[in-house]
Chain A
C-alpha cells in the first residue's frame, strides 16, 4: 500500500512548480509527505478540509486554495483521504 502511495506522491512532486505534497487520513495523521510539506501540518490540513465541507455538506468536498504572494496550498478531500499540494506561483 505504501509503495502505491509513494508512487502517487512522486508523480505529484514531478509536476511543475510543486514543492511539497502531503496525504493524511481522517484522524489527521500523516500517511505520506514529501518536500516542503511538514508532517505536523497533517492535522491542520484535515481540519481545514472538514471546515470547508461544512459550508455545503450535501455537495462533493470542495478544493481549498490558500494563497500567499509567492506560494499556494491546494487541499482536497477524496473519500476519507485528504491531500495537500504546496506550489510555487509562476
Chain B
C-alpha cells in the first residue's frame, strides 16, 4: 500500500498539460476588460474551453462556426481571394461578441458595453 501511495504522489502533485493550458487561457481571458464569457473552439466547432456566461454553450458555438463558414463566401470582388477575415464582431445593444481565429482555434469573447454617461464626451473605441 505504501509503495502504491508513493507512486501515485507525482500524479497528484503535478497538473496535466491540459489543466495548465485551461488555467492559462482562463487567466488571459479574465484580464480582458468587461469580459462576461468566453469560448475556445476547434475549427469544426467543438468546445475546448469555456467560461462565464458562455460556459459549455454549444448552441452559441454552433451558430458561430456556421457564421464563420458563411463569412468565407462573402464577396470575392470587394475582398480578394487572399484577404481572409481576421476578426468578426457582433454588436448588440448592451454587449458584443468578438470572434478571432488563431492557431487553428476559434476564440470567442462576450463583452459588456457600458453606455457612456451623458456628461462624458469621450468616445470609446
Which A residues are within 8 Å of any B CB, using their own CB? 19-20, 36-38, 40-41, 44-45, 47-48, 51-52, 54-56, 59-60, 62-71, 73, 86
Contacts and interface: CB of A to CB of B under 8 A. Distances in A.
B74 A55 contact: no
A45 B74 contact: yes
Given A68-B85, A73-B74, A52 B79 contact: no
A51 B63 CA distance: 7
A60 B92 contact: yes
B70 interface: yes
A41 B77 CA distance: 9
A48 B74 contact: yes
Nearest 9 A/B pairs, CB to CB: A36-B78, A41-B75, A38-B77, A67-B87, A63-B91, A65-B89, A68-B83, A51-B67, A62-B92
Interface string B78-122: 110001111111111100110000000000000000000000000
A50 B66 CA distance: 11
15 contacts: A36-B78, A41-B73, A48-B70, A51-B67, A52-B67, A54-B63, A55-B63, A62-B96, A64-B90, A66-B87, A67-B85, A67-B88, A71-B79, A71-B83, A86-B75
Interface of B: 60, 63, 66-67, 70-71, 73-79, 83-93, 96-97
B70 A51 contact: yes
Contacts of A48: 67, 70-71, 74
A63 to B, nearest CB: 5
B111 to A, nearest CB: 13
Given A63-B91, A71-B78, A71-B83, 12 more contacts: A36-B78, A37-B77, A41-B75, A44-B74, A54-B63, A60-B93, A62-B90, A62-B92, A64-B67, A65-B90, A67-B86, A73-B75
